[in-house]
């Protein structure tokens, strides 16, 4: 049975400061080369660390035991686009922005947009999500097939080679086994993705609220009203202030919701009206909305730059993003309690969240040279994760487990759940070569 | 005034593609390579469609010179809001040697045939970077030209234009009919959405040959050789 072990790697201090480079980096150009290289590593029991864009937020590419990093950036083809079937297959070097630029003439797009311009195969590996998961889902719902190289070099197509039906009930769901496996079960060398029509029209709106409760209540009620809202982002007063300064905006410094609606011109009118009525009934004010591209882009740039805006609050500091997710009904309580915790412990942690999913991030801005502050942050993040777990939630909504949340995963899943995960890992990678030290903790001999 | 705008759209290798020179140095590899509408032409189409949406002009006609595949580029313009298309069929060796001089003769002939009030073009194409077609077209028609436009507004039968030039921004006022070439900051082109792509399939594209317009596309230029730029050498401090 896997034991819960507190290793030094769980410490946020080390996580933030220590770089863990591999011993060797290889740049395979095709799946045959990936397979051949994996066979070499397998023969010599060398750790294998897959690398897409290296933009993950939980230390996923750190080579904890050294080994061979497989940088997949030279495999950068968009293969097999089928516009009528709404699917496309891409290699690991293709990022989400590159794909959407490629697709722009077809009227299709891939909506999942984590902050970074990440590798799509890497996004599959971490089960990434973005600001519009509330409407379009996360990688889990949008990966149809994967080509994966296993630890021994064998190549598997999780839904069968070249297959891309919109749904299937054929056998075990291997595709979703690998989605979110963070490189611990295999190297993803192709992903077949579900595409969507570019929205006919978009409207963005902003609304200020007197309290966190009011903002979150509005979110819940908007969803309950059946509005197919595309994005609903929460920024607390600290975050709004940071964004104002960084992006030269002038929003009232108070809990704020950023909303975005997709649809036809007629449906947009109805959606916006319903949402506006709800926000007003919850004490919302300054409801502004924008239809034109330039203003909407400016609005969302502020949200996507939140990381840098938070960092700019305390130059010289580093930032770490928490990432918990709870059922919607528990969201007001957890945000309120978390803000109280931040104030009580004198921590800088502006909050930005995909509240439509019950998911929010505290961007902890911390001085890496102040061990006492680092320790306070570390304890805060553990309390936050446990708060979420106590509310039927998860310790990670989108960033993954990586290094820092292995112990929390054990609490979340319980011993039997962890045992099942460990059994799968042992079956696919008995020598623990695939990205060792991530997701699951292992008893060291 | 006819209220008709001609917009030139060129099919070029997509901006994101890594260009490779053919082994025989006669040109770049185009087979199997992704092509799309020249980005400056997208901006020109967007401006024309905006003018129509503001009801300042009545009809947007998208024109492309090239082989059969140029029709795809015209379809994209139609999906963005152009009303109809004219495909000037040029293929084979003629297409390989097609340059601004021949295209400007074609556009001038079409402008007369279609009684155009305005010709909107991208300032240059990203494959040859010539930046000549708009200027030559204006000269052939003896029309005023507003090139590198970053702002366009119609005022009666005149056009107010802001041009991005080396020294800064130049404000000019020109008469119509005129030729305008679009620069980067003129607007942000819209995406073609699926419903609009479907609607565009029903819009008409007419195919003509240069000879029908009285234009000889024989080139007076010969490409001798195409080479990659020299490899960057390491520097020394």
B42 to chain A: nearest residue by CA?
Answer: A105
Q: What is the pTM of this model?
A: 0.89
Q: How confident is the model at residue A250 (pLDDT cuts 50, 70, 90)?
A: confident
Q: How many CB atoms lie within 10 A of CB A309?
A: 25
Check: CB of residue A113 under 8 Å from CB of residue A130.
Answer: yes
Nearest to B197 among A107, A109, A199 (CB): A107
**Least reliable range by pLDDT among A13-27, B27-41, B178-192:** A13-27
Check: CB of residue A38 under 8 Å from CB of residue A152.
Answer: yes
Whether A328 contacts chain B with CB within 8 A: no
Backbone angles phi, psi at A238, to 5 degrees: -65, -40
* Cα torsion angle, A365, A370, A374, A380, sign: negative
- Of A129, A29, A264, nearest to B199 (Cα)? A264
Nearest CA of chain B to the CA of A281: how many Å?
Answer: 35
- What digits encode the pLDDT tens for the residues B4-17? 999 999 999 999 99
B17 to chain A: nearest residue by CA?
Answer: A102
Environment class of B230 (CB within 10 Å of its CB; exposed 0-12, middle 13-18, buried 19+): exposed
Whether A29 contacts chain B with CB within 8 A: no
Whether A162 contacts chain B with CB within 8 A: no
Whether B36 contacts chain A with CB within 8 A: yes
The arrangement of strands across the sheet holding A48-51 comes to: A24-26, A68-71, A48-51
Average confidence (pLDDT) over A279-299: 86
Beta carbons of A102 and B193 less than 8 Å apart = no
Whether A384 contacts chain B with CB within 8 A: no
A284 Cβ contact partners less than 8 Å away, ≥ 6 residues apart: A207, A208, A209, A214, A215, A218, A257
Check: CB of residue A53 under 8 Å from CB of residue A116.
Answer: yes
CB pairs under 8 A between A and B: 40
Check: CB of residue A244 under 8 Å from CB of residue A251.
Answer: yes
A201 to chain B: nearest residue by CA?
Answer: B193
- Of B67, B72, B66, nearest to B34 (Cα)? B72
Check: CB of residue A138 under 8 Å from CB of residue A359.
Answer: no
Percent of chain B with pLDDT over 70: 100
Contacts 24+ apart (CB under 8 A), A411-420: A411/A386, A415/A1, A418/A2, A419/A1, A419/A2
The 8-class DSSP code of residue B127 comes to T
The 8-class DSSP code of residue B193 comes to P
B219, two tokens: 């080139």
Query: Highest mean pLDDT: which of A49-63, A297-311, B108-122?
Result: B108-122
Beta carbons of A98 and B192 less than 8 Å apart = no
Percent of chain B with pLDDT over 90: 92
Nearest CA of chain A to the CA of B191: how many Å?
Answer: 6
Q: How many CB atoms lie within 10 A of CB B193?
A: 20
Report how far residue A436's alpha carbon sits from residue A212's, in angstroms, rounded to the nearest whole number. 40
Interface test with B, best of A96, A97, A105, A202 (most B CBs within 10 A): A105
Whether A84 contacts chain B with CB within 8 A: no
Whether B195 contacts chain A with CB within 8 A: yes
Nearest to B191 among A198, A294, A297 (CB): A198
B198 Cβ contact partners less than 8 Å away, ≥ 6 residues apart: none
Contacts of B195 in chain A (CB under 8 A): 197, 200, 264
Contacts of B192 in chain A (CB under 8 A): 104-107, 198
Nearest to A98 among B16, B188, B190 (CB): B16
Check: CB of residue A428 under 8 Å from CB of residue A185.
Answer: yes
The per-residue pLDDT for A328 is: 86
The per-residue pLDDT for A18 is: 72
Beta carbons of A107 and B192 less than 8 Å apart = yes
Report how far residue B131's alpha carbon sits from residue B122's, in angstroms, rounded to the nearest whole number. 9
Kind of pairing between the strands at A324-325 and A87-90: unpaired
Report how far residue B60's alpha carbon sits from residue B82's, in angstroms, rounded to the nearest whole number. 5
The enclosing H or E element of A393 equals none
Contacts of A264 in chain B (CB under 8 A): 195
Beta carbons of B191 and A293 less than 8 Å apart = no
Nearest to B195 among A108, A200, A294 (CB): A200
Is the pLDDT confidence value at A385 over 90?
yes
Nearest to B193 among A98, A198, A294 (CB): A198
- What digits encode the pLDDT tens for the residues A352-374? 989 999 999 999 999 989 999 99
The per-residue pLDDT for A118 is: 96
Whether B193 contacts chain A with CB within 8 A: yes
**Least reliable range by pLDDT among A314-318, B108-112, B143-147:** A314-318
A55 Cβ contact partners less than 8 Å away, ≥ 6 residues apart: A114, A116, A117, A118, A119, A122
HSE-CB for B93 with a 13 A CA cutoff: 5
DSSP string, B47-111: HHHHHHHTTS-SEEEEEEEESTTHHHHHHHHHHHT--EEEEEE--THHHHT--HHHHHHHHHHHH
- Of B60, B18, B183, nearest to A98 (Cα)? B18
Is the pLDDT confidence value at A189 over 50?
yes
Report how far residue A25's alpha carbon sits from residue A48's, in angstroms, rounded to the nearest whole number. 10
Nearest to A104 among B72, B191, B196 (CB): B191
The enclosing H or E element of B214 equals none
Whether A107 contacts chain B with CB within 8 A: yes
Beta carbons of A106 and B190 less than 8 Å apart = no
Is the pLDDT confidence value at A7 over 60?
no
Check: CB of residue A435 under 8 Å from CB of residue A48.
Answer: yes
Average confidence (pLDDT) over A109-125: 95
Beta carbons of B190 and A294 less than 8 Å apart = no
H helices of A248-359, in order, are: 265-281, 293-304, 306-313, 331-344
- What digits encode the pLDDT tens for the residues B56-69? 999 999 999 999 99
B77 to chain A: nearest residue by CA?
Answer: A105
Check: CB of residue B161 under 8 Å from CB of residue B186.
Answer: no
Interface test with A, best of B72, B191, B192, B201 (most A CBs within 10 A): B191
Q: How many CB atoms lie within 10 A of CB B235?
A: 5
Is the pLDDT confidence value at A113 over 70?
yes
Check: CB of residue A354 under 8 Å from CB of residue A233.
Answer: yes
Query: Average pLDDT of chain A?
Result: 91
Q: How confident is the model at residue A265 (pLDDT cuts 50, 70, 90)?
A: confident
- Of A37, A48, A119, nearest to A77 (Cα)? A119
Nearest CA of chain B to the CA of A342: how many Å?
Answer: 41
């Amino acid at each position: 049975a896997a034991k819960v072990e507190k290793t030094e790697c769980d410490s946020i201090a080390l996580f933030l400061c220590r770089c863990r480079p591999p011993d060797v980096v290889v740049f395979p150009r095709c799946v045959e080369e990936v397979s051949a290289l994996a066979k070499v590593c397998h023969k010599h029991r060398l750790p294998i660390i897959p690398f897409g864009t290296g933009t993950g937020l939980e230390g996923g590419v750190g080579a904890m035991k050294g080994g061979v990093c497989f940088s997949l950036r030279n495999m950068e083809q968009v293969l097999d686009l089928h516009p009528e079937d709404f699917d496309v297959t891409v290699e690991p070097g293709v990022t989400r922005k590159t794909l959407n630029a490629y697709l722009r003439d077809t009227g299709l797009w891939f909506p999942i947009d984590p902050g970074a311009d990440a590798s799509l195969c890497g996004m599959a590996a971490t089960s990434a999500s973005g600001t519009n998961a509330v409407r379009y889902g996360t990688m889990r719902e949008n990966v149809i097939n994967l080509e994966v190289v296993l630890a021994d070099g064998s190549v598997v197509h999780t839904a069968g080679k070249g297959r891309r039906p919109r749904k299937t009930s054929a056998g075990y769901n291997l595709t979703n086994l690998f989605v979110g496996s963070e490189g611990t079960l295999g190297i993803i060398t192709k992903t077949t993705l579900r595409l969507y029509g570019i929205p006919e029209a978009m409207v963005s709106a902003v609304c200020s609220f007197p309290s966190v409760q009011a903002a979150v209540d509005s979110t819940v009620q908007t969803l309950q009203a059946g509005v197919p809202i595309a994005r609903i982002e929460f920024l607390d007063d600290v975050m709004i202030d940071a964004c104002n300064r960084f992006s030269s905006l002038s929003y009232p410094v108070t809990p704020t919701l950023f909303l975005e609606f997709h649809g036809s011109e007629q449906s947009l009118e109805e959606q916006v009206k319903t949402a506006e009525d709800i926000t007003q009934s919850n004490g919302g004010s300054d409801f502004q909305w924008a239809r034109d591209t330039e203003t909407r882009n400016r609005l969302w740039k502020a949200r996507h730059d939140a990381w840098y805006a938070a960092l700019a609050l305390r130059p010289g500091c580093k930032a770490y993003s928490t990432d918990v997710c709870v059922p919607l009904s528990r969201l007001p309580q957890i945000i309120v309690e978390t803000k109280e915790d931040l104030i009580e412990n004198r921590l800088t942690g502006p909050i930005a969240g995909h509240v439509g999913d019950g998911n929010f991030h505290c961007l902890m801005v911390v001085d890496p040279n102040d061990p006492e502050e680092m320790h306070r942050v570390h304890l805060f993040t553990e309390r936050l994760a446990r708060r979420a777990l106590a509310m039927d939630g998860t310790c990670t909504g989108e960033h993954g487990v990586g290094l820092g949340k292995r112990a929390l995963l054990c609490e979340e899943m319980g011993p039997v759940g962890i045992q099942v995960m460990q059994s799968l890992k042992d079956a696919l990678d008995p020598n623990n070569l695939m990205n060792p030290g991530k997701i699951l903790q292992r008893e060291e001999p | 005034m006819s209220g008709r705008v001609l917009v030139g759209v060129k099919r070029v290798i997509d901006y994101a593609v890594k260009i490779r020179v053919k082994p025989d140095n006669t040109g770049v590899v185009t087979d199997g390579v992704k092509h799309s509408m020249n980005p400056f032409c997208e901006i020109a189409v967007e401006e024309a469609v905006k003018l129509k949406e503001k009801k300042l002009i009545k009809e947007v006609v998208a024109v492309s010179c090239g082989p059969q595949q140029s029709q795809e580029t015209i379809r994209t313009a139609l999906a963005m809001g152009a009303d109809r298309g004219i495909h000037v069929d040029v293929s084979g060796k003629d297409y390989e040697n097609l340059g601004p001089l021949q295209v400007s003769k074609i556009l001038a002939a079409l402008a007369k045939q279609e009684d155009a009030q305005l010709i909107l073009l991208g300032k240059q194409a990203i494959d040859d970077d010539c930046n000549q077609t708009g200027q030559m077209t204006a000269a052939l028609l003896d029309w005023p030209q507003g090139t590198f436009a970053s702002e366009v507004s119609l005022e009666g039968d005149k056009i107010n234009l802001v041009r991005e030039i080396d020294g800064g921004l130049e404000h000019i006022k020109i008469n119509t009919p005129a030729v305008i070439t679009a620069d980067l900051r003129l607007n942000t082109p819209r995406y073609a959405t699926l419903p609009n792509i479907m609607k565009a399939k029903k819009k008409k594209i007419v195919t003509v040959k240069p000879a029908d317009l009285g234009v000889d596309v024989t080139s007076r230029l010969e490409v001798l050789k195409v080479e990659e730029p020299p490899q960057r050498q390491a520097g020394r401090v």
